[in-house]
Structures are given as C-alpha cells and as structure tokens.
Amino acid sequence: MKRYETDVLVVGGGGAATASTISAHEKGARTMMAVKGRFGQPGVRGAGATSNPMADFWTIRTVGPKGGFFNPPELVHADMLQTGLGMADPDLCQIFVEEVSTAIKRLRKMGMDFQSKMLATMPASEKTKGTNNIVQIQKAVIAGTGTEVVEQANITDLVVEDDRVMGAVGVHDDGTPFFIRAGAVVLATGGVGQLFQYSFNPPGNTGDGYAMALRAGAELFNMEFMQQGIATTWPKPVMVMLYEMEEPYRLLNREGKSFVHEYLPEGLDVKEVSNLKAFHWPVSCRDAAIHLDRAIHGEALRGRATDHDGIFIDLSQGERGFQPEMFVDFMTKHGFDIAQDLVQVQVFHHTSNGGVRVDTTNMSRVRGLFAVGETMGWQGADRLGGTMLGGSQVFGWRAGGYAADIAKEQPKASLEDARIEALIVEPLAKMKETKGTKRPEDLKPGLQRHMWKKLLVEKDAEQLASAQKYIDEERDRMANDLAIAEPMDLALAFEHRNLLDVAEVITQAALLREESRGSHFRGDFPERDDANFLTNIFATKRSGTLEVRKQWINEERGWEDAPGDVRIMPWG
C-alpha cells in the first residue's frame, strides 16, 4: 500500500477543489489534491462538471462581471429562500450573497476573463482550451503552491477515529491501494449525475463524496431535490435554452401527436406551462413548469418517444428571446439545423441540490471533514440559475481556510495498519477473488436506465419501491456475480457501490416525502403539503443501515412563503 501525508487533503479536481486548495495553502497548510483521472484535462476522466463548456453562467442575479453588485444582495437572498421553498439553508445563502463579489474579483486577479458586459459568463473558447476556465486558471496558481497533485487516485473511503477524520484511502487506476494521512479532508467530488442515463455530469461524478461522508458518520440532506433540464438525446446531447423559444412549444411524440395537454392538471394550459419553463431557463421546476418535464419524460415511459427516447421539438422560432443569435449559432455549431429539422429532446439530470450537511465553516459533523461545491448541501427544493459556480468559489475558498486551521490540531496518535487495511486492502482482495460475469461497466447502463425512469422526474410509491428493489438486487449481483477483468475495474466497482448507496438515499428520502415540492414530484401526492412536510429530510448511516428522518433546518426561525414567486427576473 502506498502512503502519503499532508495537512489538508482536497478530494476532487473541479472548481470547488481548486479554490479550497489555494485557500488552504494561503493559510499556511501543506496541501494535496487527490483526483480521479487527470487533473484539469477536459474531456477525460477526472474533469468535473465545472469543465463542461456549457457551465458558463455565473451568479446571474447577484454580481456583474467585475464583481459589482447587480442587484441588492438582500433581494437575491430572499429569492434564493423563496426558490428553495423553505428547504434552503438561509445562513449559507447569506454567506453566498455577501462573498460572491469577492470571489469574482479574486478570480479576475488570477486572470479570469469574463466575457460579457452584463453577465459574468465565460463561454469556452480556444483561449480557454475549449473549456470553462475556472479550473485552468486556478490550476496555474496551484502549480506555484507546492501542492502535491496525486492523479488517477480514486478515493474510496474516509478514515475516522472518535468522530475525527484522519485521512482517506483509495485505489489507483492500476489497482494499487493507498492511504493519505491528513489533518483535514475537503470533499469536492461534485454531484451524482452518473446515476442517471441522461445527465451532463462527466463519468467521474458518481456521488462518491456523498456516499463516503455518509459511511463516515456525516449527515446528508435534501437529496431528493435535483435540477433537471431539457436537452437533445440524438445525435448528441446538447442543452436546449427554452427561453429562446416561441410558446407554447411545439412538442410532438413519435406518432407526431401533441401530448402535453394530457399531463396538465385542470385549469392549466400548454402556453402557461411553456412560459413558466422558459422563464426558468431550462432547469428550474418549482411551479407548473414541472408538468412540461413530466410530459416529455412520461411519453418516453409510455413508449411514445423515439428509439432515442426523444420527443420532437420545433426550434425553428429561435430568432427571439434573450440572445437569439447565440442560440442559433450554438445549435448550428453542434450540428443541428434548427430551421429545417425537428430536434429530439428528453429530460436530463443537471445538478444535485442536496448534499453533505455542513455548518458555516463548511465542516460536517465529523470533525475535520469539510464538503464544498456540489457535494455540500445548501440549495433547497429548487434553486436559482447560476448559483452553483459562484457557490463553488465562495464555499470552496472558505472551507480551505477553515480546513487549514483544523489541520493544525491534528492528533499525533498513530493509526493501526490493520484499521487502514480493513478499509481498502481487504475489500480489494475480496473483489479480486470474485469469479462472476458482470464487470462494473456492464452493470452501470442498467442501473442508470432504471434510476432515470424511476427517480428523476415523476415518482410514486410503486416506482420508488421498484427503484429500491433494483438497488437491493444490484447489491446481490455485486456480491455474487462481479467480474474484475482489469485493475481499473476495482475503482469502478467502488464507484458502483457509491451509486447504489446514493440511489438508496434519494429513493428513501423521496418515499418519505409524501408531497410534491420544487423538483420533487410525487404522482400519488401531487400537491405541496406544508402542514406535514415543511421539513428537510436527513439521512445518516448507523452500523451500515440507512436511516432517513424529518428534521427542519428552519425549525426556529421559520419560513414564509412569499406570494408572487421571485422578485428579480429572469431566470431560474
């Protein structure tokens, strides 16, 4: 087993990880990054969601490209809470609005070039090597910090003694196990998009941070809330900016028939639902906009979508809206002739709103264990567009500084080898002995398809029971029919275990929440029920068994539903 040692270990290579690393270094800590695949190379394993060229809208309502306030922070704060429908963390949202301007200015100083006068956007360009450049810019800074970057390092579990994190274990792509002793660990592993067949998350985003934190004794919350959006399924996935479209959208199933009206509750028409969806950009769904997602997804479940699960949409009215030329240009660049052709779309997973429960220093209830970016929980039942990238910088930076402080109190006690080996060497040996037929990559498509059908858009008790059954049976397959054909399969098997653990949390939280709120829609409980569900759902693990419970983070201060939805428009 390889051994490493550091003060602050940052797990991940996305924008939240890079911010944490620089900040911890500035506080005088020795820093190490453990990254799946290659660090800062877009398009390969290891590139996080941050490097997706479509992740380019920043802090839309809060600050402009130079960090100046665009809208009053208190209004943005109120909108964030309203969008979260009582489920967002008000303290963390407050920190966000107060510090995001500083984060933008800090990035500008590092060399970030925001490319719009109005919005802090930064479209990918040749200059940014075809990627959103937060990671590239910060990678260059990290090169001067003495940080040891350990690549092809798949962290599989945290080492915890007496509720204090002591480091992490993992496996390299070549099958070599390792242990990193650390005074503090920052989890920046992104979200869990890879649980779903249709997702924009890169291959490494398998919910590892959520699953590891849970096993280590931390709490997760709001995991039933996920953003979802419309994107093309074929010939390749491209997000569709619905705010550029004529409403009501002309949507047709494979039989060429309109269908959205079949999914609408009484009193709603297609135009109203289409308008709401457009206002929300593509990914928010706290109101009747969700019925458009239900309809598109529902047609696929009923076998009325194309062989690519696609619903036809007519985008030929793309000459309107906020930035029509950019939209048409964008679609053309991706090979779509939207003036001539109908385009096939479906509902994709976009981001996870919940995550590890942290305090205002970003520490979980396990001392020394921090979570940042999409791995932390702070957003509510729905969220405003453009807050995730800004949040990754604000909270990533804060966590790095606090982690450096905590690392100084690192207990000197030596860890028994047997304890570390039980976490990584033994499970690896057991996996290698398996003589089954299913490699992890053989199992993944089935899991992703099932969870996309049962967990992402509309669900009910029956579908959720089916999701749980699949999870249980898949765990049996992992135990009895796993095949390890090459060293990389070991890391992939750990990832698959994590996908199952997170799927179970989402399933059980969604089952417990017998109402519809924000992005969480229950066909058997289609109304919001504040009397019984003005509460968050927390998940913990005790002796390997998952427990979910109601616990409201706003119990003491309450939350008032403000009629009229958000005040600053658009989007989100």
Ligand X SMILES: Cc1cc2nc3c(=O)[nH]c(=O)nc-3n(C[C@H](O)[C@H](O)[C@H](O)COP(=O)(O)OP(=O)(O)OC[C@H]3O[C@@H](n4cnc5c(N)ncnc54)[C@H](O)[C@@H]3O)c2cc1C
| Site residues for ligand X per CB under 6 A | 11-17, 34-36, 46, 48-50, 52, 54-57, 153-155, 188-190, 200-201, 204-205, 208, 239, 350-351, 373-375, 386-389, 392
Contacts of 330 (CB under 8 A, 6+ apart): 238, 241
Q: What is the DSSP letter of 249?
A: P
Cα angle vertex 482, ends 477, 487, to 5°? Answer: 150
Least separation in angstroms between CB 252 and ligand X: 25
Cα angle vertex 284, ends 452, 16, to 5°? Answer: 80
SS3 501: helix
Least separation in angstroms between CB 193 and ligand X: 7
Q: Which is nearer to ligand X, 226 or 288 (CB)?
A: 226
- What are the structure tokens assigned to 90, written together? 């008000």
Q: Which is nearer to ligand X, 293 or 374 (CB)?
A: 374
Q: Which is nearer to ligand X, 194 or 253 (CB)?
A: 194
Q: Which is nearer to ligand X, 375 or 463 (CB)?
A: 375
Least separation in angstroms between CB 135 and ligand X: 7
Q: Which residues pair with 349 in a beta bridge?
A: 199, 228
Pairing outcome for strands 343-352 and 226-234: antiparallel
Q: Which is nearer to ligand X, 12 or 368 (CB)?
A: 12
Least separation in angstroms between CB 373 and ligand X: 2
Q: Which is nearer to ligand X, 209 or 310 (CB)?
A: 209
Least separation in angstroms between CB 355 and ligand X: 9
Least separation in angstroms between CB 233 and ligand X: 15
Orientation angle between helical segments 425-433 and 488-512, nearest 10 degrees: 100
Orientation angle between helical segments 387-407 and 134-142, nearest 10 degrees: 20
Q: Which is nearer to ligand X, 559 or 571 (CB)?
A: 571
Q: Which is nearer to ligand X, 89 or 460 (CB)?
A: 89
Cα angle vertex 104, ends 100, 107, to 5°? Answer: 135
Q: Print the SS3 string covering 392-426.
A: HHHHHHHHHHHHHHHHCCCCCCCCCHHHHHHHCHH
Q: Could you give the C-alpha distances from 405 to 36, 54, 431, 531, in angstroms and in order?
A: 26, 35, 38, 42
Q: Which is nearer to ligand X, 85 or 188 (CB)?
A: 188
Least separation in angstroms between CB 333 and ligand X: 15
Least separation in angstroms between CB 467 and ligand X: 23
Rounded CA separation 144/341 (Å): 50
The one-letter code for the residue type at 246 is E
Least separation in angstroms between CB 375 and ligand X: 6
Least separation in angstroms between CB 491 and ligand X: 8
**Are the C-beta atoms of residues 5 and 181 closer than 8 Å to each other?**
yes
Q: Could you give the C-alpha distances from 2 to 150, 165, 175, 182, in angstroms and in order?
A: 12, 19, 11, 14
* String of DSSP letters for 352-400: E--EE---TTSB-SSBTEEE-GGGB----SS--TTHHHHHHHHHHHHHH
The one-letter code for the residue type at 391 is G
Least separation in angstroms between CB 190 and ligand X: 3
Rounded CA separation 71/101 (Å): 12
Q: Which is nearer to ligand X, 50 or 197 (CB)?
A: 50
Q: Which is nearer to ligand X, 38 or 108 (CB)?
A: 38
Q: Which is nearer to ligand X, 378 or 525 (CB)?
A: 378
Least separation in angstroms between CB 36 and ligand X: 4
* String of DSSP letters for 294-348: HHHHHHHHTT-S-TTS-EEE--TTTTSSSSHHHHHHHHHHTT--TTT--EEEEEE
